[in-house]
A and B are shown apart, each in its own frame.
Chain A
Amino acid sequence: MSILIDKGTKILVQGITGRQGAFHTERMLEYGSRVVGGVTPGKSGSFVCGVPVFDTAREGIERVGADASVIFVPPAAAAEAIFEASEAGIRLCVCVTEGIPASRLARVKRYLSGKPMRLIGPNCPGIITPDACKIGILPGNICLKGHVGVVSRSGTLTYEAISQLTALGVGQSTAVGIGGDSMRGTSFTDALELFDQDPDTKAIVLIGEIGGSEEEQAAEWIKKHPRKPVAAFIGGACAPVGKRMGHAGAIISGGYGTARGKIAALRDAGAAIAETPDQIGAALLRALKRAGIYDECRA
């Protein structure tokens, strides 16, 4: 079991003929993901890595049947691609694209509330269920199949966390990067709920960073749902106020969104805190032992 994706997930790649789209289509196919089609307006009839290309997402769904999509189109057209995926009936849309204007993202977010499609991202590395399916750009080779759910705002720090878990012999049920922008389709709390409902996920690693208030909201949620142990790390403890740390969402303004506040909230909610980024795996082990599920989470 896993969340959101499994071996049966059929994927449409929006922007498949671009450099990034074509490259990652090949990587996803190598990993065993079922990429069934791609979309690039005006390129219907061509193929990328043996995958048929269509002009629109709806055409792709009608011809090859996909339930998920991943977006690699440039920032100026990415918001449109999300609308297109939703209108075509996609269930899960992963938007890798970074740099979508906030005003457009706001429109996307409001439009999607009440719609059945779940958006992951934008500006995210995607989602992976080890040995079954990956959608996005996460490297599959560092993952190990198992029972720990990983949710993070960052890309490479997620890889760091996953590789620490794998090195400790602790496998992952699903890892999901929810994205570095200040507005997201899927929040920490959304991901926590999904992991909570997944019988195969026994513990959760949460990797947050400065800016916004989603980690605090996640802490509130964890407090109310203490069923599965959580380990957490918050990046950016020494970031200066008012400077955007690479991610559009990673900015401390007016004293809000500090690492200190987020760590305090998560610790208060009972999460095991990794004080430094090399201790993420160790923090999870502490949480597992405390909950008495260390053995069942080891591969």
Chain B
Amino acid sequence: MKIHEYQAKELLLAYGIPIPRQKLAGTIEQAALAAQALGGQCVLKAQAHTGGRGKAGGVRLAESASRAAEIAGELLGKRLVTEQSGPAGYPIEKVLVTARERIESEYYLAVALNDALACPEIICSGEGGTEIEALARERPELIHHIIIPPESGYCEYHGYEAARPLGLSPERKRRLVSILRGMYRLFVEKDCSLVEINPLAAIREDTLAALDAKISFDDNALFLHPELEALRDPSQEDPNEARARETGISYITLDGSIGCLVNGAGLAMATMDMIRSLGARPANFLDVGGSATAEKVASAFTMLLSDPRVKVILVNIFGGITRCDVIAAGIAAAARHTELSIPLVVRLQGAHLAAGQRILSESGLPIIQAREFREAVEKAVTAAGGERL
């Protein structure tokens, strides 16, 4: 689960990590007041669950409260489209107004799980800022990793190891050690998948502050931290993705027109790949689960039907434990309840195949049946009107 920058910074502050003074504004008036309280000069930052905000005009400097109000007016209520956001972007409902700091230098700092070693690690770099991903690709030697064995937990020496490549003053080193202690505690206590400060800035009076922060939580561990649910912002979620999450379906909106309904994540990904290889585009990734029930299939089906972008539905089910006849019954029921106004291509394979095919045939629905994987996708691409890349 992702949260906003302002929420991440509030969490950091609660763990003893210094952040610039900040105020949240949901209206132009609030933004003006916030800017005034911060002395006029401030930074306005669009709160949206995406990276690349700066380059996309979502982070702006203001010299006065009235200018801050103008900028807030330009941001609030709009959608922020960045390099990372996808074409739809994310709605800007809140703007974070923060104090402007004179920055001496910027660093990158993160705590994440090292999957290979199965323990947390500190990731740091003397080259903080917006180009960190390019840096990781092109000059990986400038990104440093300090492993933290869970048996020892975070120790002071881990912090000093992290400080070594950053070239900090003795005072700032001490501050960094304390910041990392807070980040590690937060990471462990809240089951985060990432605690990132980028940039961590060297500012006035030999201090450090988190100018931007990103925190995400392990979805599988949310049941251990019910308090985190309050941090969820539904406005930042695609409505279909949110609906799917509630019904236990794994769904991601994509930009094509072929609606996919597949069981199993691997087969669902492979189905998207197959559509693309035939020159068309999937409208979504949808995994009803390896052992899907007829109910789940029906609710996924209804969801696809209600999506106006979807020009054809492609069902690709490998009945293993889930029987094809059960799936077929689910599809037939859902299609009967909702007006089936677009072509439906169904490929069933595996257990109780013949019974499943019979149910589909006898349903009287205009279902285009297919036996093979490629055949099914080809039929769906044709039915979608041969839409090409």
Contacts and interface: CB of A to CB of B under 8 A. Distances in A.
A153 B265 CA distance: 10
B252 interface: yes
A237 B265 contact: no
Interface of B: 51, 84, 86, 113, 115-116, 118-119, 133, 136-137, 150, 188, 191, 193, 218-221, 223-224, 250, 252, 254, 262-274, 276-277, 282, 285, 287, 290-291, 318-321, 349-351, 372-374
B285 A246 contact: yes
A75 interface: yes
If over half of B's interface residues share one DSSP class (helix, strand or loop), that class is named, otherwise mixed; here it is mixed
Given A125-B290, A154-B267, A207-B266, A110 B150 contact: yes
A152 B103 CA distance: 49
Nearest to A259: B273
Contacts of B136: 254-256
Given A209-B266, A236-B269, A250-B269, A110 B118 contact: yes
- Interface size on A, as a range, is 35 or more
Interface string A127-171: 000000000011101100000000011111111100100000000
Given A100-B220, A246-B269, A156 B252 contact: no
A156 B267 contact: yes
A155 B273 CA distance: 17
A160 B318 contact: yes
A27 interface: yes
Nearest to B120: A106
19 contacts: A23-B321, A27-B321, A101-B221, A102-B220, A104-B221, A137-B291, A137-B320, A139-B351, A154-B264, A154-B265, A155-B266, A156-B320, A158-B266, A163-B350, A233-B270, A235-B273, A236-B273, A240-B252, A242-B84
Given A137-B290, A155-B264, A207-B266, A24 B133 contact: no
Given A154-B264, A156-B266, A238-B272, 16 more contacts: A102-B220, A106-B113, A155-B265, A157-B267, A163-B349, A209-B269, A212-B115, A238-B276, A240-B86, A242-B84, A246-B250, A248-B219, A250-B265, A255-B136, A278-B372, A278-B373
Contacts of A243: 252, 285
A213 B137 CA distance: 15
A101 B266 contact: no
Given A103-B218, A155-B290, A237-B276, A247 B373 contact: no
A102 B115 CA distance: 9
Given A159-B320, A276-B273, A278-B373, A246 B265 contact: yes
Contacts of B290: 125, 137, 155-156
Given A100-B220, A101-B218, A137-B291, A142 B350 contact: yes
Contacts of B318: 156, 159-160, 163
Interface of A: 20, 23-24, 27, 75-76, 99-107, 109-110, 125, 137-139, 141-142, 152-160, 163, 180, 182-183, 207, 209-210, 212-213, 233, 235-250, 254-256, 259, 275-278
A277 B218 CA distance: 30
Contacts of B372: 278
A141 B223 CA distance: 37
Contacts of A212: 115
Contact of B272 (A155, A182, A239, A249): A239
Contacts of A106: 113, 118-119, 150
B265 A247 contact: yes
Nearest to B133: A254
Contacts of A183: 115, 118
Contact of A139 (B219, B263, B269, B321): B321
Contacts of A244: 219
Contacts of A139: 319-321, 350-351
A15 B193 CA distance: 29
Nearest to B136: A254
A131 to B, nearest CB: 17
Contacts of B268: 245-246
A75 B220 contact: yes
Nearest to A111: B118
Contacts of A76: 223
A239 B374 CA distance: 19
Contacts of B276: 237-238
A279 to B, nearest CB: 9
A97 B268 CA distance: 19
Contacts of B320: 125, 137-139, 142, 155-156, 159
B270 A277 contact: yes
